Structure 1
Amino acid sequence: MKQHALRHFIVATLIATCTAAIGVRAQQGSLSAADKQRRWDTENELQSIAVVERKVMMPMPDGVRLATDIYRPKNATGKVPAIWVRTPYNFNFWDVHNGVPADMTAVLTAVKKGYAYVVQNERGHFFSEGNYDILGSKTDGYNTVDWLTRQPWSNGRIGTTGCSSTAEYQMGVAALGHPGYAAMNVQGFGAGVGRVGPYYEQGNWYRGGAVQMLFIAWLYGEQNQVRPMFPPGTPREDLIRASKSFDLAQHLPPVDWSKALWHLPVQDIIKHVDGPRGIFETAMPVETGGRMIQRAPNDPAWYRGGLYHDDMKLNVPGLWFMSWYDVSIGPNLALYNHVRRTASPEVASQQWAVIAPVAHCAYNRATADTIVGERSMGDARLDYNEIVYGFFDRFLKGERSTRLDSMPRVTYYTMGMNKWQTSDVWPPAGAQPATFYLSSAGKASSLAGDGALTAAAPDADRPDAFTYDPMNPVLSYGGNVCCTGTAVEAGAFDQRRMEAREDILVYTSEPFKEGTEVSGPITPTLYVSSDAKDTDFTVKVLDVYPDGRAFNLDESIQRMRYREGYDKPLAWMEAGKVFKVTLQPLTTSNYFAAG
């Protein structure tokens, strides 16, 4: 009989909690002859059907110019809408390493569907001028929308798309309310969210008050790229020629982050790997300041830059792509619900969410047997392009979209059941809350202990204890993680090797007698005591298979000094006292099979 059980385990501090943005970009590999030919075929077709304008230096009001490539239908009978992508990454049209054009498939698709496709580097990146600021002003986005709407070919309606850093600026720009900004498709956008509801992640820098280690690896590479500097007024033709010979790949030495992230103190990690520290550690001449590693989760500097916070209004139709094993799935869903609650009634009804069982930005990599980490998710494919262009057709062209008309507001994948489901709200309509209790005879440490997860409250308080050694921390093993290089891989992994540790408390339910879907937030409450005045507690929820494999669904963490709120005085622990702490919610959709 196949039976599944639900398991929680509790530990102290993670060395690599869930993290942010998009991965440190790898050097481009060598292409096969067939792949090179496909690149050329795509470029030649694009040149035949599109007006191609590369290295257009779009002026900002302060005189800084942003490198922009514009592709628009050559034989359009009227004005066209634009899909705009802004990125800190290398979008160069030429693959210097392989001596062929870059992959222009997404551009070609947009042009064929009647859109201008606009790709732009953020200021201070590659061919764009100015100084880079990760939390800089949102006005570059507003001014870009304004410039695009005034072009003679534009119908005045601009949409945005992209994943990770190409998504995260979108909410901040939307909050500025430009009338030409008509639709946003945000994908894997956690690092653009500052504060929403119970989450104070500040762009994935924190989780539960603990620093998320990804940003250290990400900033090492992303804010310190080598880039060309050209005299003012350099002709576009010269910029295009330079871009075909200048290797824009990162030149910083590679780092084994599985080793580097062990360094203490955390604020010296980038210095320890001989990396340029930038705003991670030093005060840069930018309006949001530097020294990010020294900021608390409620530092006022977080609110002066480009993050989206829940005191802002967002009145742009939205198509939100999220995934169960991406960073910040909880804040992402909280923000989606926040917009549906606070936007105008019309715009609130124009928000759609898709939640996939994949890792960061891996939507189109789903297959007939999608494996995420070590767990099979079944056939998790979805017609993302059809959904995206149905959305843009409605809001940028004003056309009827059969695909969008038939699509409920939330499309989510239930793991274990391995199927797509729909609802008009999140959590799904009809979901009923349930409470489980942690119970034991006082020896819940490790998988060999007596910890139980029960629907009935225990008849007495029996504390469980463990010893936390900060020099031997429990590492993250899978989960909703991103961009830590070799340190942590995202996804569902068998956690038994972690549960063998004596410094982990393990609580397991009886096998489910009936198949049970758990979809929505999971809010852990603990009663804890420590002889340290501050520590971190983490909670992880697992699906236990009949053969003993235990796959992680989500996890949460709380640094105890912030347990009473991020806007409250620091709450240190006192030895011998018991403190109640509620961790920020976990979230998932998983089916626990019955016997």
Structure 2
Amino acid sequence: MPNYRQIILLLTLLLSSQVFLGAQDNIREQLEAIAIIDQKVMMPMRDGIRLATDIYRPKTDQPVPIIFSKTPYNFNSWGDGEERTRTYQRAIEAVKRGYAYVVQNERGRYFSEGKWDILGPPTTDGYDAFSWMKNQEWSNGKIATLGCSSTAEWQMAVAALDHPAHAAMVPQGYGAGVGRVGRFHEQGNWYRGGAQQMLFTAWLYGVQNDEFRPRIPEGATQEDLIRISRFFDLAPEMPRVDWSEGLAHLPVQDIIKNQHGSKGIYFDMIRRKPNDPAWYKGGLYHDDMPFGVPSFWFASWYDVSTGPNLELYNHVRNNAKDPEVANNQYLVIAPTLHCAYTRATENTIVGERSVGDARLNYDEQIYAWFDYWLKGEKNGFLEETPKVQYYTMGSNKWQHADTWPPESAKMTTYYFSSGGQANSLYGDGRLSLQPTKGSKPDKFAYDPMNPVPSYGGNVCCTGNAVQGGAFDQQVMETRHDILVYTSEPLEEGIEVSGFIESTLYVSSDAKDTDFTIKIIDVYPDGTAYNLDETIQRARYREGYDQEVFMKDGEVYKLEMTPMSTSNYFAKGHRIRVEISSSNFPRFERNLNTGGNNYDESKGVIAHNTIHHSADHPTQIRLPIVQSSAASPTSSRRD
């Protein structure tokens, strides 16, 4: 007897596949009906190197503005014998609105010539691309840059060159393009507090070029490139890696080698220190550089680089020399993971925590921004759009403010105390608004061969090693090497929105070690959701241009890099802070030897102490918003 359920399922799958293939054909046909398609244009740079570029522009005799996206990723229209439509979809959206959509591979990526490095330096490639596009007869001379992550991170350094055609930009999730700005010295997310962020180890495994990779010979024509791109896209097929185990390999410099990965820039980059001159020769933006472009910035609370992203927004507003540039910086902060803005739903789940309806009319706002700057439309964007739109978790609502943090966010100090037994969730660590007399220091042993595992958090790009977002930390907090400090239940709810500052007084019997901190919202039932986290390598406590090692028995003051959030701690909730010395593999382990760390395979146990007394007031300072400080925003439209 035939299994009718299986037959129906098979027919359904066949019908679905036909609908999908038909939709793909329809997308291509839609684009061909409205756009002139010009693929594999080899755009020349000043040194003769040519960058592979696809251009989609409206069928019109009138000059049009341009939306430009530059990327290290593969946007070839064919892969594995099938036509890809992702770029077509983006092009249709732009062309329908009267824009040319131009996408280009960075120098040295896929069909682009030259040698690749992170962010596609030199920055003059961006400048030269603007000049080429501006001079095309179909261009109106105004260009906007758009992209998230690697398609955003190159934009800031090019904005420093202030090309006259670069009229506006929309960088999203752009932290890997921020080198040194204000209180943050991350060199493009490579470091946090002097400790390596391991995301780039996993990311470069799949992205970096091998020195022996195949290349297209010089002299290939555009016709040749289009023809061979149907069956040959220069994309490597990297074997999948279980990064939950792969990132644990020592020494760190050999992690990719241990996976039989490509030979590329990782081996050189992992040896750089935070102030290596090489960080200032590539495509990173640093705070001693000018900035010349009106910008609509997008950040998110569970991205890897929220703090430096917000710091850069403030830096540009406060330091751009052109008043029109300084006064036209706008910011959106969503409660999502890296580049997941449009994935918000009516019930947005980030990790395990529901943060409510976090949708926003992103496309409507972005194109209104472009229409103003590239078409000259007087559409009211500047007058009607708040300077800062931010989502507050806990109260689960979009709000707006004129500044970041909101102007009436006032720093409130919470002091750490205990009877010397703050180890774990079951210890006696306390947070209070007043220092506690007789508080005793807390001690714990940090074994780099048994580090505190990363559980949730503000992460990106680590494969299966770390899942980003908010997760209940209670099980983690049973570890003896995590110090836990918790406030009393709140008598009234409070909104914490802004930069969170913390000062630790520490000692260790190791020459060098790390200290980590995490801010947590504890619900009445004990559920403990992480909000943000940071780390500081002790040797860099006096600055990233010098290494000063610790001496056994001495107490040192650590100013941690700021954390960031917007969270409503409801009545009955408690504020919690965890302190430890590892958060792995979010950050690399400090092996505690005082050596290079990247080339070492053996560590030593550090016996670390947190001091909290009148002489050593370990504390955290929270930006608490007064009840009338922020206003609900009406910019979300269903």
SS for the counterpart of 2:297 is strand
Comparing 38-47 with 65-74, greater Cα deviation is found at 38-47
Partner of 1:256 in structure 2? 242
Task: Work out which of the residue numbers 156, 159, 167 in structure 2 matches 1:174.
Answer: 159
Cα separation, 2, equivalents of 1:84 and 1:99: 22
Q: Tell me if structure 1 keeps the 8 A contact 2:159–2:293.
A: yes
Query: How far apart are the structure 1 equivalents of 2:460 and 2:18?
Result: 32
Aligned to 1:294: 271
Q: Distance in 1 between matches of 2:201 and 2:516?
A: 21
Rounded Cα–Cα distance in structure 2 between residues aligned with 1:256 and 1:103: 30
Q: Deviations over 1:145-175 (max 9, x none)?
A: 1100000011111100000000000001110
Change (3 A) 1:93 1:494: same
2-side partners of 1:267 and 1:88: how far apart?
Answer: 23
C-alpha distance in structure 2 between counterparts of 1:207 and 1:500, whole Å: 26
Contact 1:127 1:227 in 2 (8 A): no
Q: Distance in 2 between matches of 1:455 and 1:387?
A: 41
Q: What residue is the counterpart of 2:548 in the other structure?
A: 571
1-structure distance, mates of 2:319, 2:177? 18
Q: Is the 8 A contact 2:78 2:233 kept in 1?
A: no
CA positional deviation for 1:37: 2.0
Aligned 8 A contact 1:40 1:100 in 2: no
Alignment counterpart, residue 481 of structure 1, candidates 446, 459, 468: 459
Q: Name the counterpart of 1:39.
A: 24
**What residue in structure 2 maps to residue 4 of structure 1?**
none
Whether the 8 Å CA contact 1:72–1:111 is kept in 2: the answer is yes
Partner-residue secondary structure (3-state), 1:434? strand
Asked if 1:82 is matched to 2:60, the reply is no
The whole-number CA distance in structure 1 between the counterparts of 2:127 and 2:533 is: 36
Q: Greater CA deviation, 544-553 or 126-135?
A: 126-135
Pairing partner for 1:132 from 112, 116, 120: 116
Displacement after TM superposition at 1:34 (Å): 2.6
Shift of residue 224, structure 1, vs aligned partner: 2.6
Identify the residue that residue 153 of structure 1 maps to in structure 2.
Answer: 138
Give the unaligned 5+ runs of structure 1. Answer: 1-30, 282-290
CA distance in 1, matches of 2:280, 2:530: 33
| 1:361-399 Cα deviation digits (max 9, x unpaired) | 001100000001000010000010011101000111111
Change (3 A) 1:166 1:587: same
The equivalent residue for 1:8 is: none
CA distance in 1, matches of 2:492, 2:284: 43
Q: Which deviations, in whole Å up to 9, do the C-alpha atoms of 1:214-252 show, x marking residues without a partner?
A: 111111110137965333332222211211112554322
Which whole-Å CA distance do the structure 1 matches of 2:226 and 2:149 have between them? 27
Match of 1:17 in 2: none
Is 2:98 the partner of 1:121? no
User: What is the distance in 2 between the residues matched to 1:227 and 1:309?
Assistant: 32
**Code of the aligned partner of 2:532:** D
- Once structures 1 and 2 are overlaid, which stretch shifts more, 396-405 or 174-183? 396-405
Q: Is the 8 A contact 1:127 1:228 kept in 2?
A: no
| Alignment check: 8 A CA contact 2:419 2:439 kept | no
Does the CA-based 8 Å contact 1:92-1:243 persist in structure 2? Answer: yes
Q: Using the alignment, how far apart are the partners of 1:125 and 1:338 within structure 2?
A: 32
Instruction: Show CA shifts across 1:328-366 (max 9, x none).
Output: 100000000000001122211111000000001001100
The runs of at least 4 aligned residues of structure 1 exceeding 6 Å deviation read none
TM value normalised by structure 2? 0.85
Structure 2, gaps ≥5 residues long:
1-15, 573-638
Query: What SS class does the counterpart of residue 278 from structure 1 fall into?
Result: coil
Deviation, structure 1 residue 317? 0.3
Q: Is the 8 A contact 1:126 1:228 kept in 2?
A: no
Residue 121 of structure 1, CA deviation: 0.4
Residue matched to 1:421: 399
Other-structure match for 2:223: 237
Q: Is residue 92 of structure 1 aligned with residue 76 of structure 2?
A: yes
What is the Cα deviation at residue 102 of structure 1? 4.3
Q: How many residues align?
A: 554
- CA shift, 1:405, in A, is 2.9
1:543–1:384 Cα change, 3 Å: same
Answer yes or no: is the 8 Å Cα contact 2:203–2:462 preserved in 1: yes
Taking every aligned residue pair, what percent have the same amino acid on both sides?
62
Give the match's secondary structure for 1:168: coil
Residues in 2 aligned to 1:297 and 1:381: alpha-carbon distance in whole angstroms: 37
The alignment partner of 1:39 has SS state of helix
2:409 alignment partner, SS class? coil
Aligned-partner Cα distance in 2 for 1:100–1:516: 48
Mapping for residues 7-18 of structure 1, pairs under 5 Å? none
Distance of 2:343 and 2:22 partners within structure 1: 22
In structure 2, how many angstroms separate the alpha carbons of the residues matched to 1:300 and 1:99?
43
2: distance between equivalents of 1:227 and 1:43? Answer: 31
1:518 and 2:496 matched: yes
Is contact 2:244–2:465 with CA below 8 Å preserved after alignment?
yes
Bigger shift: 87-96 or 436-445? 87-96
Are the aligned partners of 2:111 and 2:234 in contact in 1 as well (CA < 8 Å)? Answer: no
Contact 1:447–1:496 at 8 Å: present in 2 too?
A: yes
User: Aligned runs of 1:499-538 on 2, under 5 Å?
Assistant: 499-538=477-516
Matched residue, 1:562: 540
Amino acid in the other structure paired with 1:438: F
Residue 311 of structure 2 aligns to a residue in which SS? Answer: helix
The amino acid across from 1:65 in the alignment is: R
| Alpha carbons 2:205, 2:261 under 8 Å: kept | yes
Amino acid at match of 1:280: Y
Which shows bigger deviation, 459-468 or 332-341?
459-468
Following the alignment from structure 1 to structure 2, what is the Cα–Cα distance between the partners of residues 323 and 250? 31
Distance 2:566 2:85 in 1: 41
SS at match of 2:356: coil
Paired with 2:431 and 2:262, the residues of 1 have a C-alpha distance of 47
- After TM superposition, the score normalised by the length of structure 1 is 0.91
Is 1:435 the counterpart of 2:413 in the alignment? Answer: yes
- Structure 1 stretch displaced more, 174-183 or 129-138: 129-138
Q: In angstroms, what is the RMSD of aligned CA positions?
A: 1.4
Residue 333 of structure 2: aligned partner: 355
Cα 1:177–1:460 shift into 2, 3 Å: same
Instruction: Give 3-state SS (helix, strand or coil) of 1:367's partner.
Output: coil
In structure 2, how many angstroms separate the alpha carbons of the residues matched to 1:65 and 1:79?
A: 24
Give the equivalent residue in structure 2 for 1:266: 252
Distance 1:345 1:460, change over 3 A: farther
| SS in structure 1 at match of 2:492 | coil
Of residues 427, 437, 442, the one that matches 1:464 is 442
Deviation at 1:403, TM superposition (A): 4.3
Is 2:372–2:381's contact at 8 Å kept on the other side of the alignment? no
The amino acid across from 1:309 in the alignment is H
Distance (Å, rounded) in 2 between the aligned partners of 1:456 and 1:280? 47
